[in-house]
Structure 1
Amino acid sequence: MNTLKPILSLLILSIFFSCTNTQKPEEKTNEPTAVEPESSGIKVLNFATFHMGYSSDAHTVEFDENNKKNKDTIHQVAAMLAAFKPTVIIVEATPEYNGTLQGNYATYLKDQDAVFENPDEIELLAFEVGRLAGTKRIYGVDHKMEYNYNIGSEIVNSIDSLTINNFQADPFKSIPHLSLFEEGLPLMERLKRINHPKMLDFLITANADILTYAGTENGFEGADEAAKYYQRNLRIYSNLNRLQLGENDRLFILTGGSHTAFLREFMERDEKYEMVNTFDYLK
């Protein structure tokens, strides 16, 4: 019995210290907790559209830019978006065109009935958003580059012709409820669909990533064409970053859907910008 006493004493002490050093889940410590910092990025309304006038894109949406009903609907959309109160408008035009762009904008501010040759989403939507919001500055940030959407059909594809052919035969198969080419689709619904997050993801796939399934036995022809599209959008982003912007500026960016999609990817990782929810305005 005498030999058991020291062992029992050690066991009791061990249990005691174990209990006193175990923190209950509900107990608080003095350790600092991580606090999510408030965002101080430049606010951005990054808005996707289809091209409302002439476009060199491989796939375009049928749209009569001179139809009065279409114009009225676009102006309703503009009124919604103008509530964002942008101080700067960014459009899909090259910086070399900025002088003409700003001159046309000034003309529109003076006369909303001014007639522009071959009007598109810039004259129809961006100008009206700017007028309603009292925006003074407008810039183009586009960058043109040649790339081949159809490379898969022009080579002997040794990677996966089945996948790329099936995708191109029915591109909206995975998101049928968001198809942009549905007959009789109202303009407002079309704009809502093209701004849907799943659609923006799809547009990167359709314009670039799907080409990684095309290539000759030892080549990367499809991937190289996709890289050109990434490069173009990175250069667009670089043009955006060349602009002199202040922390209190608010950007309304209006571009074709695939550019909106890429800009979303870039800005989500960039502390300089903070994108607002498009559907807080497009209601």
Structure 2
Amino acid sequence: MLFSFYPYNPDTSNQKEPIDQQGSDKIEVLNFGTFHMGFTTDANKTEFDENDRKNQQRVHTIAEKLADFDPTVIIVEQEPTQNESIQEEYQQYRDNPDMTFENPSEVELLAYELGRLSGADRIYGIDHKMGYNYRIGQQIDNQVDPEWYNRYYEDPLSFHPSIDVNRDTLSLQKKLELMNKDEFLNFLITVNADMLSHAGTTDGFEGADEAAKYYQRNLRMYSNLNRLDLNSDDRVFILMGASHTAFFRDFMRGDPKFEMVDTFQFLKE
């Protein structure tokens, strides 16, 4: 499914208070989810004209807010093989923020501008591509739980009423608020992976195996993050499609190496 976003009226009541990191060797992370603002192979794409100057200014306004996190390192959803070219282009943008891009994505529009404002010197990609068939339950003779599988995927959002509202009415600010709420991140894991466990042949685990591929991709991306030379003096801003943000949130919650800051400390009106 790879849902990019659906609107939701954010409720920050369950957000953790920022933890005082004085004396801690944990690495602070702002783990931020977005929709893909340029070309994407995702099955569900958010309508967004990345070449519209007003839209670009709206993104830069978000970047200005997030820059208050003061990151030293920027992480984006690009493959590590592109790190040299990303770093070079980012430095060009820092020297000339008026430079233009033919088809800018969230990397050029948000990550570069946030990094420029905060003075971050380093930017890395950690993506890892893997094949993944989220329609597996429609392509096999599902003998596991076809009634429930079909009910859910006919209209997934009907099972998540608090986020089932008209997304077209939301501003960019509200869309991004939605995408970084726990309830929406939970939905992305459910719809992209966990619900596939309801699909399989009589003696097979086809749905569960496809879900495992998506977990594996995200774990490999997390492994790429851990290959980077980071220490407790760093403050790391991670910008990815929100389904990856959801998995990283769960990985980091149990990882003593990292401490996630409250996104809504910075993403606010």
Instruction: Provide the TM-score with structure 2 as the length reference.
Output: 0.89
**1:132 alignment partner in structure 2:** 117
Instruction: Return the offset for 1:249.
Output: 0.4
**2:90 alignment partner in structure 1:** 105
State whether structure 2 residue 193 is matched by structure 1 residue 208: yes
Q: More relative contact order in 1 or in 2 (CA 8 Å, sep 6+)?
A: 2
**Kept in 2: contact 1:39–1:274 (CA 8 A):** no
**Kept in 1: contact 2:152–2:159 (CA 8 A):** no
Q: Report the secondary structure of 1:172's partner residue.
A: helix
**1:82 alignment partner in structure 2:** 67
Q: Report the secondary structure of 2:213's partner residue.
A: helix
Instruction: Return the offset for 1:153.
Output: 0.6
**2:40 alignment partner in structure 1:** 55
Instruction: Return the offset for 1:179.
Output: 4.1
Give the count of matched residue pairs: 247
* C-alpha spacing 1:131/1:171, structure 2 compared with 1 (3 Å): same
Determine which of 177, 186, 189 is the counterpart of 1:192: 177
Q: Report the secondary structure of 1:45's partner residue.
A: strand
Which sits farther off after the overlay, 162-171 or 190-199? Answer: 162-171
* Alpha-carbon separation, structure 2, partners of 1:162 and 1:250: 46
Structure 1 or 2, whichever has the larger Rg, is: 1
**2:133 alignment partner in structure 1:** 148
**Kept in 2: contact 1:88–1:251 (CA 8 A):** yes
Instruction: Return the offset for 1:60.
Output: 1.4
Instruction: Provide the TM-score with structure 1 as the length reference.
Output: 0.84
Which sits farther off after the overlay, 176-185 or 45-54? Answer: 176-185
Which sits farther off after the overlay, 93-102 or 38-47? Answer: 38-47
Instruction: Return the offset for 1:71.
Output: 1.0
**2:258 alignment partner in structure 1:** 273
Gap regions ≥5 residues in structure 1: 1-36
Could you list the structure 1 runs, at least 4 aligned residues long, displaced by more than 6 angstroms after superposition: none
State whether structure 2 residue 151 is matched by structure 1 residue 160: no
Q: Report the secondary structure of 1:173's partner residue.
A: helix
Determine which of 237, 240, 243 is the counterpart of 2:228: 243
* Alpha-carbon separation, structure 1, partners of 2:135 and 2:200: 12
**Kept in 1: contact 2:62–2:267 (CA 8 A):** yes
**2:26 alignment partner in structure 1:** 41
Determine which of 69, 79, 95 is the counterpart of 2:80: 95
Q: How does 1:20-39 map to 2 (within 5 A)?
A: 39=24
**Kept in 2: contact 1:45–1:275 (CA 8 A):** yes
* Alpha-carbon separation, structure 2, partners of 1:240 and 1:271: 14
State whether structure 2 residue 215 is matched by structure 1 residue 261: no
One-letter amino acid matched to 1:155: I
Gap regions ≥5 residues in structure 2: 1-21
**1:22 alignment partner in structure 2:** none
* Alpha-carbon separation, structure 2, partners of 1:189 and 1:169: 26
**Kept in 2: contact 1:214–1:222 (CA 8 A):** yes
* Alpha-carbon separation, structure 1, partners of 2:102 and 2:253: 36
* Alpha-carbon separation, structure 2, partners of 1:274 and 1:121: 24
* Alpha-carbon separation, structure 1, partners of 2:249 and 2:143: 33
